[in-house]
Chains A and B, each alone.
Chain A
């Protein structure tokens, strides 16, 4: 575990929040609502199985498989379902494709709606006020905060997520990757490139 857990070794230094959460877990577990082992499994799933590598697989497949790409843009919920991803009830996934003319960027101005199954939990900046407030008003400025700039002619579309509709950006395939396998391509797909605040890694970049 990371050094974020160092407080665990010194009970006198447990934060108020840590104490509250422990108390809550104890109560729920004693009442038989939750099994601490099941909680361990859920935490582990979010740390390993659920994350941007799922979205990267979808993007890489869309880059090499024209039929899948069409299906993804037509109905992303259905298309990713064919790969075995099961969405949370009620979620509708929409894939938006970047082109040289149009760049897509995703935000949740109200809170933190995000395609969990594809990207895992949202990063702190996605949930924080600066991104949520500014993405819809000054997307180029926000991209500059990420060190990203686009040609002036490129149109930027910003998609505001809701509890029911989540967006996945289909970034442009990097040049120089002709003939690459899906697995190799997937390694170039970054989380931020699927939110629209970054680009995929160029081939040959250190991973």
Chain B
């Protein structure tokens, strides 16, 4: 299966830009969302497959987001739990 998430080998995204001394959370809400995801997961409110499904933004939205966000700050939407 391929799709916009499957980025291995795609061209054109430019250089990797690492943020020096990157904080664990860039804004307060990032930490709150992570904590809620962990807490709700622990409470059995959803399982990893549910979260994977929810994590898949629509292709159009994902591409739009990638385009709009400044380099090095991509994937900051935070509502996408790590898998």
Q: Is there contact, CB below 8 Å, between B34 and A46?
A: yes
Chain B residues with Cβ under 8 A from A25's Cβ?
Answer: 32, 36
Interface residues of A (CB under 8 A from B): 1-2, 4-5, 7-8, 15, 17-18, 21-22, 24-25, 28, 33-35, 38-40, 42-43, 46-47, 51, 90, 107, 109-114, 116, 120-125, 127-137, 142, 145-146, 160, 163
Q: Is there contact, CB below 8 Å, between B7 and A24?
A: no
Residue ID in chain B nearest A34 by CB atoms: B39
Chain B contacts with A in 24-38, Cβ cutoff 8 A: 24-29, 31-36, 38
Number of B residues with CB within 8 Å of any CB on chain A: 48
Q: Is there contact, CB below 8 Å, between B35 and A43?
A: yes
Apart from A43-B35, A112-B83, list 19 A-B contacts with CB within 8 A: A2-B23, A18-B28, A18-B29, A43-B25, A43-B34, A46-B31, A46-B34, A109-B7, A121-B24, A124-B19, A124-B26, A128-B72, A128-B75, A129-B13, A130-B13, A133-B7, A133-B13, A134-B16, A163-B48
Q: Is there contact, CB below 8 Å, between B39 and A127?
A: no
Q: Is there contact, CB below 8 Å, between A134 and B13?
A: yes
A128 vs B81: C-alpha distance when bound (angstroms)? 14
Q: List 14 A-B contacts (CB under 8 A).
A: A34-B39, A46-B25, A46-B34, A110-B6, A111-B82, A113-B83, A122-B82, A123-B18, A124-B19, A130-B13, A131-B16, A134-B13, A145-B18, A163-B83
Chain B residues with Cβ under 8 A from A28's Cβ?
Answer: 36, 40
Cβ distance A87 to chain B, nearest Cβ, rounded Å: 14
Q: Which of A34, A51, A90 has the most CB of B within 10 A?
A: A34
Cβ distance B1 to chain A, nearest Cβ, rounded Å: 10
Q: Is there contact, CB below 8 Å, between B36 and A24?
A: yes
Q: Is there contact, CB below 8 Å, between A133 and B10?
A: yes
Chain A residues with Cβ under 8 A from B38's Cβ?
Answer: 42
Cβ distance A109 to chain B, nearest Cβ, rounded Å: 3
Cβ distance A101 to chain B, nearest Cβ, rounded Å: 24
Chain A residues with Cβ under 8 A from B10's Cβ?
Answer: 129, 133
Chain B residues with Cβ under 8 A from A131's Cβ?
Answer: 16
Residue ID in chain A nearest B26 by CB atoms: A4
Tell me if B59 is interfacial: C-beta within 8 Å of chain A. Answer: no
A134 vs B8: C-alpha distance when bound (angstroms)? 7
Chain B residues with Cβ under 8 A from A39's Cβ?
Answer: 32, 35-36, 39
Q: Which one, B17, B34, B78, contacts A17 given CB within 8 A? A: B78
A5 vs B28: C-alpha distance when bound (angstroms)? 6
